[in-house]
Structure 1
């Protein structure tokens, strides 16, 4: 049996045989596709992502069975819907599970279902930038001592605001 993968086109769920990356419908994108540089991925994972013991522990948490089960539970309970778009009255598929209050700010809440929400990629990018400015999280930032915001509606208002 041939090895297969999902088409890399956005919102396309057609199956293609390896070594192709796109289905017949999106074949015109195949020649533009550039695979990830393995050296830069390795450098990111070993140098940037694991830059200190705290970040290494956070990253390793996402590789545990506990996280896999928590993530699946949250996605199923929230019906794979982005909770931040939902606060705006829109319906968007959310495949990522995000900590409402980042692990760097509230490490004790990393396994709390109340601190997890399904989120779409667009909202996740916007929220990450907001967290970096509000909490001072992320590489080369200084952590700010501010009170954590636990309301999705309030975060949504602040990050778009």
Structure 2
């Protein structure tokens, strides 16, 4: 199986096919984060992403497959990909 390069992924996300599929998935999911919904919380109104459940890089053949796509809020999407970086307090919690 061939992995997609970063340039190929960026090109894909700019494509008309992706933009159209993304809109279909957002409508299907009622513009709600499905991860939050599973936890009993309704998250709408903020920026929403459409997430590939099986990553685009590894499964390019599923890139536009609706069953592999899900609406997520930015917070849940970032959490899935471990994009949160805690900053160390360089002042040792000293308060003035």
Q: Equivalents in 1 of 2:32, 2:78: separation in Å?
A: 16
Q: Equivalents in 1 of 2:29, 2:60: separation in Å?
A: 23
Higher relative contact order (CA 8 A, sep 6+): 2
Measure how far apart 1:101 and its partner are: 1.2
2:28 is aligned with 1:102:
no
2:8 is aligned with 1:57:
yes
**After TM superposition, what 4+ stretches of structure 1 lie above 2 angstroms from structure 2?**
none
Count of aligned positions: 78
Deviations 1:82-137 (A, max 9, x none): 0111111111126211111111221211110111111001101101118xxxxxxx
Deviations 1:125-151 (A, max 9, x none): 101118xxxxxxxxxxxxxxxxxxxxx
Give ranges in structure 2 of 5+ residues lacking alignment. Answer: 84-96
Q: Equivalents in 2 of 1:111, 1:89: separation in Å?
A: 28
Paired position in structure 1 for 2:31: 80
Q: Equivalents in 1 of 2:22, 2:14: separation in Å?
A: 11
Name the larger-Rg structure: 1
Q: Equivalents in 1 of 2:35, 2:53: separation in Å?
A: 10
Report which of the two has the higher share of helix: 1
TM normalised by structure 2 equals 0.75
2:21 is aligned with 1:70:
yes
Give ranges in structure 1 of 5+ residues lacking alignment. Answer: 1-52, 131-161
TM normalised by structure 1 equals 0.46
